[in-house]
Structures are given as structure tokens and as C-alpha cells.
Amino acid sequence: MQKDKGATTKAPLHVLIIGGGVGGLCLAQGLKQSGISVAVYERDRSVHFRSQGYRIHINPDGSQALHDCLPENLFNLFVATSGLPATGRLANYDSQLRELDSRPLHQVVADSPFTLSTEVNRLTLREVLLAGLDDIVHFGKTLERFEHVGAGVVRASFADGASAEGDVLIGADGTHSVTRQLLLPEARVSEVGFALYGKTPLTPEAMEWIPENVLKGFSRVADPSGVAMLDYGFAAVKNSIEQPLLGFRTLGEAHRPH
């Protein structure tokens, strides 16, 4: 791999971002918009290398950040591919799907078109974030270590033997960040319990027994032991033929809806 710093002619600052997930790509878009030289190094071999999950909630701060970082056409694409608004209630069910209680969902009202609270398909969002970054994102680059190599220069070394140099190195490599482990080896990830996720195809048979609110609102289904499943029926993505159900399974209080 060529050293990216040498190729930088327009901007004095060259930023290396480790990890091409939601955070790393959004930051790369923002830096590019600001005219700052940036390169992203992503462990995955390609955007389609692994499933990215299927939905992620974007709150108003997230929407605002996307608006600030993305060019207008990509922000509009994010909005166009985001989820439908919830029209149901916040409801509790027993394990036989009998409704125990319900109340109106707290609706986050956007105070501008840029502060949506919405659901998006993770892969679609990643594709939106990757648009226009062909020369910036380098797939198949797993960070192994970094070191300072002279006045203000940091060198990142990858598992395939390649390296890249820049002025700033940013770790956007997720929960088990290698960057963090190298920089802060004493830091520990706080476990918050376990959760299982899944989605259920909405076949005609399933539609016969799934309560309407499970499709349109936010529902918690719990058995007497406290094992619970939360579902976000409103996570449907516009123009999608699939309306996924999302389940959390947990024994902890932390996941109970407020």
C-alpha cells in the first residue's frame, strides 16, 4: 500500500480512521466535506462481507450529525430510506400475547427536518455512508498496532503487512476496539447482560396471530420468570416488502421499557 500522507497535497492534515462502521464512515464523510484528507481502514473484506444486522434507531442527535456530515443528496437518501413512524402504543403482553396494559408512545417530534427520530436498515445506511468514498475506504485492513514515527506522525500497521501514516489516528473500530486496547490497555468493556436478536417474516399465517400493536408500536412480551422480548414493529423500512420484528431476550431490569 502506498503511504497516504505522501499523496496529500491539498490539506496539511491527514486523518486515519480505523473502522468503517457507522461512526467511522460518517466522520469520513464529514471530514471530506470539510476538505480534510482522510483514509478509512476497515477489517471487512467488502461492504457485503458480513451481515450488518438489520435495523438501527437514529435519534435526533444522530440525524443532526448525519445532516451535518453528509452531502445533501446522501442525507436525502438517508431520509428516503428511513423507517415509518410508529402509530401504535407502548404495550405489555404475557407469553400468550394477551395484552396486560398499554399507553401512548412518547413521540419525539422533530423540530427540524434534520432531527428525525427514525429506524433505518443497517446495510442501507452503511451503503449511503460509503457513497463517494471509493478512494477513501480501504477494505481488508485490520489494524494490529500503531506507533509514533517522528514529529506528529502516526503509523498504523495492518495484519496484511501494509502500513499507513497520518497526522491523526482515530479509533472507530467498535466495542472491541484494537485502537482502544493499544491506547488504554487497562480499560474494560462494561457488560450489560445478554440479548438475542432475530426477525420474523410476516407470512399470512403469522399475521393471523400477531397483535396489530406488535406491528405498529413498541411491545414487551414477558413470561413469569422475567424473560422478555421487546419488539419494534415500526422498524419497517420504507419501500420494503419486509416488515421485521426485532426481539431482545433478557433477564435484566435494564432492558425493561420506561
Ligand X SMILES: Cc1cc2nc3c(=O)[nH]c(=O)nc-3n(C[C@H](O)[C@H](O)[C@H](O)COP(=O)(O)OP(=O)(O)OC[C@H]3O[C@@H](n4cnc5c(N)ncnc54)[C@H](O)[C@@H]3O)c2cc1C
CA distances 221 to 72, 230, 249, 254, Å, are 40, 6, 10, 15
Q: Determine the interface stretch with ligand X among 15-23, 104-112, 181-189, 210-218 (rule: CB under 6 A).
A: 15-23
SS3 assignment, position 152: coil
Q: Give 33-97 as a DSSP string.
A: HTT-EEEEEESSSSTTSS---S-EEE-HHHHHHHHHHS-HHHHHHHHHTBBPPP-SEEEEEETT-
Among positions 16, 125, 164, 178, the unique one binding ligand X when judged by CB under 6 A = 178
Query: From CA 79, how far away is CA 75, in angstroms rounded?
Result: 6
Question: Which range in 7-15, 21-29, 186-194, 199-207 contacts ligand X by CB under 6 A?
Answer: 21-29
115/142 with CB nearer ligand X: 142
In the shown chain, the binding pattern of residues 121 to 160 toward ligand X, with x for contact by CB under 6 A and - for none, equals: --------------------xxx-----------------
Stretch that binds ligand X, among 70-78, 105-113, 172-180, 201-209 (CB under 6 A): 172-180
In terms of Cβ atoms closer than 10 Å to its own Cβ (0-12, 13-18, 19+), residue 80 is exposed
In the complex, least distance from residue 199 CB atom to ligand X, rounded to whole angstroms:
11
Site for ligand X in 86-125 (CB under 6 A): none
How far apart, in whole angstroms, are the C-alpha atoms of residue 126 and residue 124?
A: 5
Q: Which stretch binds ligand X (CB under 6 A): 67-75, 80-88, 105-113, 166-174?
A: 166-174
What's the grid cell of residue 44? Answer: 471487512
Site residues (CB under 6 A) for ligand X?
18-24, 41-44, 53, 56-57, 141-143, 172-174, 178, 197
